Amino acid sequence: MKLFGGLTLVAGLASAACPTGWTDPTGSGSCEPGTGFSFICNDDGTVSIEADMEHFFDAMPADLAANVATLIVAAGWTHENNDYFSITDDLTMSQTSSTEITGTYTVAGQQTWAQRTLGTGNEVIDVARALSFDITCTYDTEFSINVGNVGIAASETFDGYSDSNTNTLVTAELQDNAGSTASTWVLGETVNVVFTGPTWAFLTVKDCVAYSENSYTNNPITITYGECVQEAVGASVTADSTYSKLTTGISFEAFKYNANDETAYLQCNVLIGLENDSGLASAALDSDFDGAVDTINTAGGTVESNALTC
């Protein structure tokens, strides 16, 4: 999984006019929040941010700071100590291509928070400059998951092998027909692979391939590719309940490569994508994701040299 974070700053914050505590590290005229600011892009579609008062306003008068801190808290932030604030909040997601999903979040001070009322006419004046900038989190949409081993129970002492998997955005689990996690099967028993993706996206299984060794390189057998299946091992796919073209799980019959091999190793490639119902009478998949899914399902009938049934 690749996940990147970046800042998009407001136009006009030239280096000569960087707010107090901000820097221009590249000398390009783009100011960035300085010490005390940090953020983390989370797998669950949220971003966790730490910021100081100076990241909301430039030159906030000391006598207004306490009142403004109360207003920042009312906007959903937690006032940790002094002028330090934190928040974990949802990103606004958009699919920028078939390979990336972008989440954005705006950190902003409100100009009305930094005002005074003066004179007999109750004139309102601004006394500090409100600052605003965007945080961007970029998520890859395709993941290769080493699901692990499909072990054939030659005896009750078979010790299942489990691969480590550092991806946390999309996970896969081997299950038996009772829905329990499993690592061994009798020949011909049904192996179920259940995939779980982020709650803010849909997923589809691009392909699942079995190998004879845990290097995931030797003797590949394509079990499924999109909606297409390997009938020789009784493979089938589970369609998403909302979009039937999406594959959310697969099943096949346990098999052995030869008499000496008690394990087949399964690797699956999974895509995630967004729904786009903006301006549409009914919900639809984002066009980039939808196109990628159509390409996968169309190619399934001709993939490699394996005769798949679509």
Instruction: Write down the pLDDT at residue 249.
Output: 94
d(C-alpha 264, C-alpha 220), whole Å? 10
pLDDT category of residue 304 using cuts at 50, 70 and 90: low
Instruction: Write down the pLDDT at residue 237.
Output: 95
pLDDT category of residue 126 using cuts at 50, 70 and 90: low
Instruction: Write down the pLDDT at residue 1.
Output: 36
Mean pLDDT of 56-76: 82
Q: pLDDT tens, 78-110?
A: 988 777 899 999 999 998 888 889 898 988 887
φ/ψ bin of 281: left (φ > 0), alpha (ψ from -120 to 50), beta (otherwise)? alpha
Mean pLDDT of the chain: 79
The two three-digit tokens of residue 213, written as one number: 């060794």
Residue whose entry in the numeric block shows the structure tokens 């008690």: 262
Q: What is the pTM of this model?
A: 0.78
Residue whose entry in the numeric block shows the structure tokens 């299950």: 175
Q: pLDDT tens, 175-192?
A: 888 888 887 888 888 999
3-state DSSP of 251-280: EEECCCCCCCCCEEEEEEEEEEECECCCCC
Q: What percentage of residues in the chain have a pLDDT greater than 90? A: 21
Instruction: Write down the pLDDT at residue 9.
Output: 47
Q: pLDDT tens, 216-253?
A: 888 888 999 999 999 989 999 999 998 999 999 999 99
Alpha-carbon torsion 16, 20, 25, 28, what sign?
A: negative
Q: Where in the chain do CATH 2.60.40 domains reside?
A: 142-302
d(C-alpha 263, C-alpha 254), whole Å? 9
Q: What percentage of residues in the chain have a pLDDT greater than 70? A: 79
Architecture of the domain spanning 142-302: Sandwich (2.60)
Instruction: Write down the pLDDT at residue 225.
Output: 93
* The pairing of beta strand 132-140 with beta strand 123-126: unpaired
Cα first-last separation, the chain:
30
d(C-alpha 34, C-alpha 25), whole Å? 10
Mean pLDDT of 135-144: 88
Instruction: Write down the pLDDT at residue 11.
Output: 36
d(C-alpha 204, C-alpha 10), whole Å? 37
